[in-house]
Chains A and B, each alone.
Chain A
């Protein structure tokens, strides 16, 4: 059974940093593209970032501030978030890509809440 468990969320001041983790199990982690998606309270979904093979991709809204990475030996995906802004406040979820596709979001975690506020 595919399981994705996010952690690392919390309250941070504007301009601060936070690192999110996504612990994966139930599949061969290194073989799949992985993504981060966020949803602000009461708002729609926003794609944040993805890693596929050695390539990384970012939404314009986070480019230069967020860094996605993975440790295949630990089956863990990360999102380093710097220079955080109030508009980054959201539930952050990690997602596994579908088999045979370098894009897409097949399985989702339940998310970790990030609140940026003074």
Chain B
């Protein structure tokens, strides 16, 4: 049973930069896992941010970027805004079947 792991929580100051990561128990995360990232605020539906490692949706703010970092997928927020406080989920695909990470609660303080 493959497990996708994210940091449970991170804290960042407004205007700062933070990197969230997404690891796979099966080994190195590559572009072939088509990493996706989603933002979810309480009571709201998830909002897609990044697909296929580093592609932004039309609504994704420029301060969000996706990449591969070492053996993991990564989501970097540069110039963090108070409204970026939320839960962030990564999604990896294994031969067509997806597995979400447990989520990272990002606090902007």
Contacts and interface: CB of A to CB of B under 8 A. Distances in A.
Interface of A: 35, 37, 44-47, 50, 52, 55, 57-60, 93, 98, 101-111
Nearest to B45: A108
A64 B99 CA distance: 18
15 contacts: A44-B87, A44-B89, A47-B97, A57-B96, A57-B98, A59-B97, A60-B97, A101-B52, A103-B93, A103-B96, A105-B46, A105-B48, A106-B48, A107-B48, A109-B45
A44 B103 contact: yes
B51 A60 contact: no
Interface of B: 1, 34, 36, 38, 40, 45-46, 48, 51-52, 55, 57, 87, 89, 91, 93, 95-103
> Which 4 pairs between the two chains have the least Cβ-Cβ distance?
A47-B98, A57-B96, A104-B51, A45-B100
A103 B34 contact: yes
Contacts of A102: 96
Contacts of A44: 87, 89, 100-103
Contacts of B34: 101, 103-104
Nearest to B47: A108
Nearest to A35: B98
Contacts of B89: 44-45
Contacts of A111: 45
B48 A52 contact: no
Given A59-B98, A110-B45, 9 more contacts: A44-B102, A44-B103, A55-B96, A93-B45, A101-B52, A103-B98, A105-B46, A106-B48, A108-B48
